[in-house]
Every structure is written in C-alpha cells, then in structure tokens.
Amino acid sequence: MAVRIKNLSITYRTSFERRPTLRTALVRFGRGQRAVREVKALTDLTLTVPEGTSMGIIGANGAGKSTLMRAVAGILPPTEGSVEVWGKASTLLALGVGFNKSLSGRENIILGGLAAGLSRKEVEERADQVAEWTEIGDFIDMPMQTYSSGMSARVAFSVAVHMKPDILMVDEALSTGDARFRAKATDKMAELRSSARAMFLVSHGLNSIKEMCTDAIWLDKGRMMMQGSPEDVVEEYKKFTKVKKGSSAADDDV
C-alpha cells in the first residue's frame, strides 16, 4: 500500500466583511461585520492506492483536486477521516513556493533538497545535475528575482523530480516551459513512475492523464464521482461536461 484515505472530509472556514445596515453601522460606528462561511472542499472521500499506481485526478476548477493533493502531502489536516501515507512524498503542488527569490537558483536547489528531507551531502551531490537539467544556463547562479516565471518553474520542477521520492505528486507541472522541455519533463515523469512507490497527477490535459496514469478518479464539488481506468474516467467526465469527441476542447479540463 502507498496511500490509504478513509472518509476524508476537509472544510475551510473563511471570513468576509458583510456590508452593514444603517442600524448596525450606527451601533458599530460604521465598522463592517465579519461573517464566517464554511466551504466543504472534500466530502467523505475514500480511496486506496496500491504500490505501483499512477493515479490521475481530474475535475473542474474547484472540484477539490488540489485540496486532496495537499491532504496527502500532509499540508492540510483532515476535518474528518484519515490519510495514511507510506514513504516520503515530493510535491509539485505549487511550483516555486518556498523559494527565496533573493538567492540564486543553485542555492534554492540546495534549500529545496533539504526541505525534501535529504542530507546536505546528498543535496550537494545532486545540485550540479539538477542545475544542468534546468537548461537555464548562467541564470542558475543569478538571483531568482531576475527569472521569468517559466525559468522559476523549471528550477522547481527539476528539484522535485531529482529527489528520488517514494510518492510523487504533480499538480499542473507538465505545462512548464516550451514544447521540447515539456517532452523532456514527461520522459522524466515516466522514469520516476517506474521507480516511485506511487504517483499522483492532477492535470488539465486529459490526454496526459490517459498516457501517464494507470488509474484515475474524477472529483466534482468535493465528491468522488468515479474511479476506474483513465480512459473510462476521462470519457465519462467528457460526457458530463458535454465535450464532444474530437473537438478542440477534448484535451482540456473544462
């Protein structure tokens, strides 16, 4: 077993400023009134992921895909239920989050490796390899605040995929860079898939889900609508969203 999720529910509590009425404004001297709203991001989700699985996760924006990934990564605690993970997870949940923009790309590679749980010696041994893989040349030794968003994303992707994770979680990372770099990233993901205990992939590219995953789930408004083969899940999802076969939108998560 790589991951076991049982009756997982996650609820966000958000506050917003409610526009005051004349009466409440007079009472509160014109100050707004804070209101609390609960948002159910995931509801009663149960999922088992055996070792060797490449799990694709699809659904419209707001379906709960990234929330599920963050729960598996240990970033978000469950409101209800449980998440069990066997092994070390390397996440590509948000490319570049945690980087220090005033440091160079090479220095951030070292920081990223240490954050992934590697020793200083292990990180330094891999730093040159990771730096070369980014293909950004001399920029690797310049402050990241001088980078374009694409260059920053390349560094983040390179760090994550070179840390030899037991469980790799990727959220929209394969859209990084030009077509040649995307192909290179896809090849690297295929290599990791053969060595990692499990992989989770959230992607707006439905073809990527079909090509790279062995299993898939479809989420809608925080609930799991279907689990099955990537081909079957993608087809049902496309029917649900009324995307016709062969249309230009067939490879988009709509």
Residues of the chain with pLDDT under 50: 244, 248-250, 253-254
For 50, other C-beta atoms within 10 Å of its C-beta total 14
* Structural domains for the chain: 1-13+40-86+197-242 (3.40.50.300), 93-166+174-196 (3.40.50.300)
- pTM for the structure as a whole: 0.75
pLDDT of residue 119: 85
Whether the Cβ atoms of residue 119 and residue 196 lie closer than 8 Å to each other: no
Identify the pLDDT of residue 74: 85
At 20 the pLDDT is: 61
Looking at residue 248, its pLDDT comes to 46
pLDDT confidence of residue 150: 83
Note the pLDDT of residue 58: 96
Q: Which helix (H) or strand (E) holds 136?
A: none
Helix (H) or strand (E) holding 43: strand 33-49
pLDDT score recorded for residue 18: 59
